[in-house]
Structure 1
Amino acid sequence: MADGPRSTKSKKPEMKGKKKVNKRKLGVWLFFAGAVAIVCGIIGYLLIILNGERILAENQDKFILPEASTIYDAKGKEVTKLSQAGGNRENVEFAEIPELMRQAVIATEDRRFEEHSGIDLWSIGRALVKDIIARSAVEGGSTITQQLAKNLFLTEDKTFFRKATEASIAVALEHKKTKDEIITMYLNRIYFGKGVYGIKAASKYYFNTELKDLKLWQMATLAAIPKAPGNYNPINNPENSLERRKVVLQLMFEQGYITQAEMDEAKAAKYVPVDHPKTSNDSYLAFIDYVVDEAEKVSGMTEEELRIGGYKIYTTLNTQAQSVMEREFDDDDNFEKSVDEQKVQGAMIIVDHRNGEIQAMVGGRDYVNKGLNRVTKQPRQPGSAFKPITVYGPAVESGDWYPWSVLQDVKTCYGSYCPTDSNKVKYIGPVSMRQSIKESRNASAVWLLNEIGVRTGMKFAEKMGFELDSKKDRNLAIGLGGLTNGVTVFDMARAYSAFANDGKSVDPHSLLRIIDKTGEAVYDYSAPSAEQLMSPETAYYMTDMMQAVTEKGGTGVGARIDRPVAGKTGTTQHGIPGLRTGYNRDAWFAGYTPEWTAVVWMGYDITDKNHMIKKSSSQSAAMFGKVMRDAIKGVKKGSFTKPANVQEEKPPVGITNFNAIYDEASAMVKLSWNPIEGEGIQYRVYRKEASEAAFSKLLDSLEAVDVDDMSVSPGMTYTYYVTAYDPRKEMEGTPSDQLTVEIPAAEITPPETEEPGEVIPPDEGNTVPEDGTEVPPGDGTTPPDEGTPGNGETPDNGGQPAEPGTGNGSGNGTGNGTGNGTGNGGTGDTGTTPDDGSVPADGQPTNGGDAGAGNAPASP
């Protein structure tokens, strides 16, 4: 018992002593803790200020608010704004913002904006309470200055460190900028939905109204959007927009910015969505993409810099032509139907070849922004549309060939390369260059290329801007557009523009000028010096011949419009190994009026057995006609110019009343025709034996209008034609009709057996030697009905004359050259091998052009 009380008493004093010590320590601790807190608060505030100042100093460029650059057409009219990652934006100055608009935003987003220094502690406290209750960061509590800070420098995440940084930047902004500057930056940068940034762009997009003309209800509608742009914009959610508008108006009324009557009237207004015309979101896409690409090259700026720099970009865009082109490309009836979802594609460009300005461009059906522009990015085989580039153009430029020059449209193989005509009537023999290009004849085109040499054709093509493979393309197939790498629609437009521009080079461009936000020009187009790619005479002759393509009987009649048109069709075979069909891979029409050049291509992006074109180039020519007919309306009509020194004289007219008849009595073909009026006119006779591929000149420099061909052989068939030739002008007329003559086979009968003892009188022409034997009549030679006519064959070496025939017979034969032998002691003409790149009869190339198979030959 004694121990218990003692134990209790001894513990009480100890407990009292401990309490006194803790109070003292607590007081000291609280004092120093308070001091430390004050110091830390001061240091923290200083750190916040310094951190914000540091961020602002390191990111001065962020104060330059991005602004969507504007595209203008050729007339200086705004077409669209370039969209970017931040959407469309157009900045304004503080004075341009209506006071009520500023008040609507302040009342809605930050009612204490004019009082705080970047951070509103009351709002932050309110937000913290809501966050604690919700156990998540749901309330922002951010001031307008903080929202601007976040928009300028930070991300959307809600973390403590991000909020602290946001606060530090906001405080720094309040030190660096005035309230007017801050609200202006905010309203220029804030997002208003539908890809629109900034209050000015929003007023145009939602109301088609200038900012200064906005009504109260419209201002409240716009002020309602930034809290949730997807939910509160009046286009996507008109009901939510109306309810939010009422909230904004109520806040404005409560804060004394508007009256009750103004509030009620603004709440009752009805929103009618603006009917937006086509913009860059769905129109002009290929052209605008091309403009941006061109601007990058000439200005040295990046695409992003161009799009958000607020530049005014003036272009060559002809909105009428562009709209017509897009309308026709949107019409499915202008294209063949596909068996599946893969469409027949197409592309087109129009260039004013007088100044190089691109008028319109479509990069494909259903073209998407930054998609595949088939005008510039997809090389294809040009087919016969390349003939003016590698065959006819260089031939005329040489000075040796003219539209009336006679070519040979005959089936010929050049080594292993055997071009074929795809015309209904094939291999018509002699044909003028004009007719050859009009009907797109392959055999005569390759024949002409072989005559001028492949090297000549390649040089002309390279001069026209095409980069051919110096090894793989060195063959006759380039005459029909069989190329290693193909060409683009843009390449063809540039080349055909030179034909239309009197032989001078053209620089197709879409960009005229770039103006920055200060009004200074950062780029002005300056045309390069034009180069004379061909003589004006060659350009005129080519234009004259290609006009025939759109005339009756030509391959491009669908391209005709109400003004002069010259052009050329082109179709390439499908080229699928083992597939026998007449369907094609590519269909072209390249043509021009005196004012504009346009090129159309059609085809599948990927050609296979299920995806080939059936209608050839006629549909491309038709598309040219449909687009150009309406696109060029309003452009003053012109005419193709004729150079002053172009050859005015015309070749002799064609031969008429040509006749060719075999005379059995004389065993020769008698040829006759009507004479041609003119002094010194001569005539040329051409002949081809049925087994020969080409005609050869039989007689030259004739002045008579009838002649006998004695060099015919029995059983043979010959075809003839005649031309008139003016030696003073060195001009040959168009060929006459072709006439074919069949020579009957010779009938050899044995001599009659005379009666024994019959004596033939001397006056019959027989003499009887003393030994009683008989001799043949005449001079001891074989009688005509028993002798063998000389065959006139040329020996194998092709260069020696033919052996003369015997008796009155006649003969004709060919070796590697051609040889004609006449029976009365005549000799065969010496066979020669040309040195101009042509191929002799054995089909092997000589020292001129390069014969080769190349790519698959093309159809017209």
Structure 2
Amino acid sequence: MPNDPLSRSNNRNTNNKSNQKAKPKTSKKKKITGKRVGWTLFFTMAIAIFCALGGYLFILISGERLLTANMDKTTINETSKVYDRNGNIMGELSIKKLEPVESDDIPKLVKEAFVATEDKRFYEHQGVDIWSIGRAAVKDIMARSMVEGGSTLTQQLAKNMFLSRDKTFFRKATEVSIAMALERKFSKDEILTMYLNRIFFGHQRYGIKAASEFYFGKSDLKDLDLWEIATLAAMPKGPSAYNPLSNPNDSKARRGVVLQLMYEQGYITEAEMDKAKAVDYKYTPPEKDRKYQAFIDYVLREAERVTGMTEDDLNIGGFKIYTTMDAQAQTAMENAFSDDSLFESSKDDQQVQGSMVIMNHENGSLVALLGGRDYQTKGYSRVTQSRRQPGSAFKPIVSYAPALETGQYSANSQLSNQKQCFGNYCPGNLHGYSSTISMTDAITKSENIPAVWLLDKIGVNTGVNFAKSVGIQLTDQDKNLAIALGGLSKGTNTLEMAQAYSAFANLGEYQQAYSIKEIQDSSGKTTYKHDKSETKRVMSEQNAYQLTQMLQNVVNDGTGRSARLDRPVAGKTGTVQSGIAGNSSNRDVWFVGYTPEWTGAVWMGYDNPDAKHMLKNSSKLSAAFFAKVMGDALKGVPVKEFKTPEGGQTSPPPVEEPQQPELSVSGLSASYNPSTQTVSLNWTGTGDANTQYRIYRKETSEAQFTHLIDSVGSTSAQDLSALPGLTYEYYVTAYDLASGQETSPSNTVSLMIEAQEIDPQQPDPGTEPGTGTEPEGPGTDNPDNGGTDNGNPNGNNGNGSDNGNNGNGNNGNGNENNGNNNGGNGSGNGQPGGGTPPGQGTTDPGSEGPSDGAITTPGEVVTPDSGTNGDNGGTEAPSTPQTDSGG
């Protein structure tokens, strides 16, 4: 029976015996014999040899065919084209190439430079260098992609002739086949000559002659110097990164590598190498590039980054690149940069430079940008390649915005405005002090103490983290209170500042700027499209709107009045002092602001600032430039208001208003001192020590009075910006800091200032950097002469109402006593902390004021200290203290 246990047992025994008998047969079948191994190896080798021969024959035939087909071609597609945001063509990436150069016209040293740099075994291999391919293969395997070229100079020529830029095995095999065909058909010298006539050198220049003529103005290669030869030989590795126009510093560094290789391989002497390494590139091509070139170049850099292609790939690929540029805005910017009257004049050929970025804060798209007055020919873009200290323009980023986000402060919050030190760090105000000041007034007047005090309260790390969240690049060295006034270790640029402020304009949402919407290949297929998923919230809508309202006050009634337009504008100025003892001029001036439509950032200054190359004007210059460009860029665009938070604006919590004494002002009188060129004002007031007296002024040609300066706890003040030959009218009001109550105007006084003949032996206080103050007083919005550079070389322009320093105001080393401020506010731009090298951007937090004036309070020496203010330590000034003079 099938289920019988005995039967199942017998079956198991039978199966076990069968298995035991089958084992020897199985082992015999799996036994590997020498005969079997021999036949396997024979057939394997035969197949390998057959494949190798077939592959070799394919390479030979393919190489010859491809070489013949592509010998005289430069491109296989139409030129790539770039379009603006409306789909209108901006320009074509046309190839610029001169006639080929014969071998005899190429100096031997030129050939040696390229061989030494690109392929030192060029004369030894037959088109393919096995060692280089092996090294490249190892790197490719480790990276799991085709990252290493391993190409010989012949293969580079083959790649340019085949014209495909895809990093694939097929392309590499094609390179090899063409390279071998080249080696069979031409001599080494002929190959090298063809290579030099076809290689890409950046700026759409192909061939050594075109490059030599464009970069050095030399069509005869025999006229090239060694450093110029090495500069050209440095470019094939990275034409965009190493060409001397776009990246002079990187080009010089790469040139040094080329010269080192030439020296090591015996082509030049050590002395020749050292001499050629030291030369700086200064040539400027006489021709000007086309319209929109700055934006097109930025687009190309972004396209390289987002696609992984090279500029060479983009030139010949027949691509259609759709960008975010607004033609009207870019044209307005280019026109402004070419208008010399909008820039301060220089004493020599080193002109004042500038940079500007405009972006759409609603979606992060770049609208217009330009990185210099001579960008069309120079190619060096200060939009991204130059980093400078931002001065007071950094206050909203690192102090006020993060303070609002803590929930402990609002626009009405009273901040400390008392004269004080934070450890050994002692910033100062321009227009005196008070016990408290509202956040709105602190931003409007650009007072220093409240910004530093606030950062100390919320913690330095809080400010640093917020700045990083809106795209500012900071280092560990920036973790100190000096950043409240823009004292950054590496500075920033207009692109970063525009991105940061765009978050305020966009109700607290930050987006990284971009310039490319879409890229299509020659067949119309989309190869890249911008991903709009990078938006992140950095502030609440309510807090962002509060900050916008405060920044509107800066433009309407504060230091940014020169940026006013016929539409709402919010923004902040920034002025960075020279940092040179005895020099009251400015190193950098900024304005960063926004309308309901767009956000813009402007910087002005010298590329290489020193004692002779400083700005006499303050940030009014950059604010006026912002107004000019934005006004033209938005011409015809309907005026609208700033967006309000959903559900409407929630007003900040009210502040309790203590009972205040009745305020009144009377008996105003004015007198002018020709020797110090100051107007002294005196009046009678009924306020107490917390009362702020506001002085208003109107020049007779002006339509209305404007807020000039403030005086706290004193019934006297001085106007340092009055100009000879003009008539001024003044009145004063009293303002209660706690309640916000302001009295009616006092009596009005009129004063005619006689024109004075200036002693030619003395510096002109209006044009030469002295050691006095440079306030940007209200009512003097003309960026060319508005209240700047009126410093008295004797340093006696101080505000007598301030408890000053009976010491030497010119070097900032006075002792602080309760006496008259004989040194004066800004009587000397002392170099705190041991001095600042002329080449380093400085922002001394001890001298920021509401009027963008360049001023350092005498006797307030900023000394680095380990300090305990702020959070997690690191709250003191950096080892090289920064000097912020306004805005």
**TM-score, normalised on structure 1?**
0.50
Instruction: From the superposition, tell whether residues 723 and 73 of structure 1 become closer, same or farther in structure 2 (CA, over 3 Å).
Output: closer
Aligned to 2:819: none
Aligned partner letter, 1:317? M
Aligned to 1:439: 445
Task: Tell me the CA shift for residue 843 of structure 1.
Answer: 12
Say if 2:551 is the partner of 1:528: no
Instruction: From the superposition, tell whether residues 280 and 357 of structure 1 become closer, same or farther in structure 2 (CA, over 3 Å).
Output: farther
Task: Tell me the CA shift for residue 850 of structure 1.
Answer: 4.4
2:436 match: secondary structure: strand
Aligned to 1:762: none
Aligned to 2:481: 476
Q: Could you list the per-position Cα deviations for residues 729-777 of structure 1 after superposition, in whole angstroms to 9, with x for gaps in the alignment? A: xxxx44889xxxxxxxxxxxxxxxxxxxxxxxxxxxxxxxxxxxxxxxx
1:451 alignment partner, one of 430, 452, 457: 457
Instruction: From the superposition, tell whether residues 87 and 544 of structure 1 become closer, same or farther in structure 2 (CA, over 3 Å).
Output: farther
CA contact (8 A) 1:500 1:592 kept: yes
CA contact (8 A) 1:295 1:511 kept: yes
1:627 match: secondary structure: helix
Aligned partner letter, 2:438? S
Say if 2:573 is the partner of 1:569: yes
Say if 2:61 is the partner of 1:56: no
Aligned partner letter, 2:474? L
Residues in 1 aligned to 2:297 and 2:378: alpha-carbon distance in whole angstroms: 6
Q: Could you list the per-position Cα deviations for residues 264-283 of structure 1 after superposition, in whole angstroms to 9, with x for gaps in the alignment? A: xxxxxxxxxxxxxxx98232
Residues in 1 aligned to 2:161 and 2:572: alpha-carbon distance in whole angstroms: 57
Say if 2:854 is the partner of 1:852: no
1:281 match: secondary structure: coil
Residues in 1 aligned to 2:531 and 2:473: alpha-carbon distance in whole angstroms: 25
Aligned to 1:301: 309
Say if 2:619 is the partner of 1:595: no
2:94 match: secondary structure: coil
CA contact (8 A) 2:93 2:315 kept: yes
Q: Could you list the per-position Cα deviations for residues 535-558 of structure 1 after superposition, in whole angstroms to 9, with x for gaps in the alignment? A: 111100110000001113x11111
Instruction: From the superposition, tell whether residues 410 and 300 of structure 1 become closer, same or farther in structure 2 (CA, over 3 Å).
Output: same
Residues in 2 aligned to 1:354 and 1:722: alpha-carbon distance in whole angstroms: 39
Aligned partner letter, 1:492? M
CA contact (8 A) 1:289 1:369 kept: no
CA contact (8 A) 1:73 1:319 kept: yes
Residues in 2 aligned to 1:357 and 1:593: alpha-carbon distance in whole angstroms: 15
2:322 match: secondary structure: strand
CA contact (8 A) 1:551 1:557 kept: yes
Task: Tell me the CA shift for residue 518 of structure 1.
Answer: 1.1
CA contact (8 A) 1:685 1:722 kept: no
Instruction: From the superposition, tell whether residues 291 and 431 of structure 1 become closer, same or farther in structure 2 (CA, over 3 Å).
Output: same
Residues in 1 aligned to 2:595 and 2:472: alpha-carbon distance in whole angstroms: 23
2:358 alignment partner, one of 346, 350, 361: 350
Aligned to 1:80: 91
Aligned partner letter, 1:467? Q
Which one has a bigger Cα radius of gyration? 1
Q: How many residues align?
A: 478
Aligned to 1:113: none
- Pairwise mapping of residues 224-373 of structure 1 onto structure 2 (< 5 A)? 281-368=289-376, 371-373=379-381
Structure 1 stretches of 4+ moved >6 Å? 50-53, 59-63, 151-154, 194-197, 653-657, 684-688, 720-724
Task: Tell me the CA shift for residue 417 of structure 1.
Answer: 1.4
Q: Identity over the aligned pairs, expressed in percent?
A: 44
- Pairwise mapping of residues 676-755 of structure 1 onto structure 2 (< 5 A)? 733-734=739-740
Residues in 1 aligned to 2:370 and 2:515: alpha-carbon distance in whole angstroms: 13
Residues in 2 aligned to 1:403 and 1:153: alpha-carbon distance in whole angstroms: 65
Aligned to 2:82: 71
Aligned partner letter, 1:513? E
Instruction: From the superposition, tell whether residues 574 and 291 of structure 1 become closer, same or farther in structure 2 (CA, over 3 Å).
Output: same
1:563 match: secondary structure: coil
Aligned partner letter, 2:877? A
Aligned partner letter, 1:383? G
Task: Tell me the CA shift for residue 86 of structure 1.
Answer: 4.3
CA contact (8 A) 2:570 2:595 kept: yes
Residues in 2 aligned to 1:498 and 1:314: alpha-carbon distance in whole angstroms: 25
Aligned partner letter, 1:322? Q
Aligned to 1:647: 650
Task: Tell me the CA shift for residue 659 of structure 1.
Answer: 4.8
Residues in 1 aligned to 2:76 and 2:185: alpha-carbon distance in whole angstroms: 20
Aligned to 1:464: 470
Say if 2:444 is the partner of 1:421: no
Residues in 1 aligned to 2:409 and 2:204: alpha-carbon distance in whole angstroms: 61
CA contact (8 A) 1:413 1:843 kept: no
- Pairwise mapping of residues 530-679 of structure 1 onto structure 2 (< 5 A)? 530-552=535-557, 554-576=558-580, 579-643=581-645, 644=647, 646-648=649-651, 651=654, 658-659=661-662
Q: Which runs of 5 or more residues in structure 2 are unaligned?
A: 1-58, 100-157, 164-180, 187-197, 207-286, 665-685, 693-711, 713-733, 744-864
Say if 2:407 is the partner of 1:402: no
Say if 2:493 is the partner of 1:488: yes
CA contact (8 A) 1:477 1:853 kept: yes
Residues in 1 aligned to 2:356 and 2:524: alpha-carbon distance in whole angstroms: 35
Aligned partner letter, 1:486? G
Q: Which moved more, 1:842-851 or 1:509-518?
A: 842-851
Q: Could you list the per-position Cα deviations for residues 282-309 of structure 1 after superposition, in whole angstroms to 9, with x for gaps in the alignment? A: 3222211110011111112111010111
CA contact (8 A) 1:419 1:857 kept: no
1:551 match: secondary structure: helix
**TM-score, normalised on structure 2?**
0.49
Task: Tell me the CA shift for residue 462 of structure 1.
Answer: 1.6
CA contact (8 A) 1:414 1:843 kept: no
Instruction: From the superposition, tell whether residues 195 and 647 of structure 1 become closer, same or farther in structure 2 (CA, over 3 Å).
Output: closer
Instruction: From the superposition, tell whether residues 573 and 513 of structure 1 become closer, same or farther in structure 2 (CA, over 3 Å).
Output: same
Aligned partner letter, 1:438? T
Aligned partner letter, 2:883? P
Task: Tell me the CA shift for residue 68 of structure 1.
Answer: 2.0
2:404 match: secondary structure: helix
Residues in 2 aligned to 1:297 and 1:499: alpha-carbon distance in whole angstroms: 28
Residues in 2 aligned to 1:87 and 1:513: alpha-carbon distance in whole angstroms: 32
Aligned partner letter, 1:400? Q
Task: Tell me the CA shift for residue 657 of structure 1.
Answer: 6.5
Instruction: From the superposition, tell whether residues 567 and 480 of structure 1 become closer, same or farther in structure 2 (CA, over 3 Å).
Output: same
CA contact (8 A) 1:417 1:851 kept: no
- Using CA pairs below 8 Å that are at least 6 residues apart, which structure has the higher relative contact order? 2
Instruction: From the superposition, tell whether residues 722 and 364 of structure 1 become closer, same or farther in structure 2 (CA, over 3 Å).
Output: closer
1:394 match: secondary structure: helix
Residues in 2 aligned to 1:415 and 1:281: alpha-carbon distance in whole angstroms: 54
Task: Tell me the CA shift for residue 568 of structure 1.
Answer: 0.4
Task: Tell me the CA shift for residue 165 of structure 1.
Answer: 6.0
Aligned partner letter, 1:499? F
CA contact (8 A) 1:540 1:642 kept: yes
Q: Which runs of 5 or more residues in structure 1 are unaligned?
A: 1-49, 89-148, 155-160, 167-188, 198-278, 662-672, 675-683, 689-694, 696-719, 725-732, 738-841
Instruction: From the superposition, tell whether residues 54 and 390 of structure 1 become closer, same or farther in structure 2 (CA, over 3 Å).
Output: closer
CA contact (8 A) 1:71 1:315 kept: yes
Residues in 2 aligned to 1:366 and 1:660: alpha-carbon distance in whole angstroms: 56
Q: Could you list the per-position Cα deviations for residues 162-210 of structure 1 after superposition, in whole angstroms to 9, with x for gaps in the alignment? A: 9x969xxxxxxxxxxxxxxxxxxxxxx9xxxx9999xxxxxxxxxxxxx
Q: Could you list the per-position Cα deviations for residues 89-135 of structure 1 after superposition, in whole angstroms to 9, with x for gaps in the alignment? A: xxxxxxxxxxxxxxxxxxxxxxxxxxxxxxxxxxxxxxxxxxxxxxx
Aligned partner letter, 1:55? E
Task: Tell me the CA shift for residue 331 of structure 1.
Answer: 0.6
Residues in 2 aligned to 1:375 and 1:853: alpha-carbon distance in whole angstroms: 28
